[in-house]
């Protein structure tokens, strides 16, 4: 089952903050975040492992609440370059013991001047 991302789309002015949420109905091992610009490949942002850690670099950070099976991506003081579609990928082991990453449908972020 795909994780659910919210909101589906958001428009920001430069300098504003945004939060993108990702929730899953399955027990999670890890959460990945990727950004994809139009017509390009997804680019890795960060991975969070279970344990409730928070990570970040520059003005983009994320948290992972293992008990709630949720992760949130925080973008502060947004820049034009932040525009794109953000995907969360939730990692879990299948019944057969193999590890798979399942991506959400994405959140389209548009930053305007």
Per the structure block, which two tokens stand in for 34? 């990727």
CA proximity to 88, closest of 27, 24, 39: 24
Piece of 10-18, 56-64, 68-76, 103-111 that binds another protein (CB under 8 A): 103-111
CA proximity to 94, closest of 29, 50, 49: 29
**Binding of another protein at residue 49 (CB under 8 A)?**
yes
**Binding of another protein at residue 47 (CB under 8 A)?**
yes
Residue 77 phi, psi (nearest 5): 45, 60
Task: Kindly determine how many residues on this chain lie close enough to bind another protein according to the rule CB under 8 A.
Answer: 24
Binding site for another protein (CB under 8 A): 2, 29-30, 32, 40-44, 47, 49, 87, 89, 91, 96, 98-106
């Amino acid at each position: 089952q795909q994780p659910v991302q919210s909101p589906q789309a958001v428009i920001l002015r430069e300098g504003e903050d945004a939060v993108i949420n990702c929730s899953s109905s399955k027990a999670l091992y890890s959460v990945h975040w990727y950004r994809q610009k139009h017509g390009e490949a997804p680019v890795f942002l960060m991975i969070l492992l279970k344990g409730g850690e928070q990570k970040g670099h520059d003005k983009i950070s994320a948290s992972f609440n293992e008990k709630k099976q949720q992760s949130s991506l925080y973008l502060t003081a947004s820049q034009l370059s932040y525009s794109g579609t953000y995907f969360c990928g939730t990692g879990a082991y299948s019944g057969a013991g193999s590890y798979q990453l399942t991506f959400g449908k994405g959140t389209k972020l548009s930053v305007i001047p």
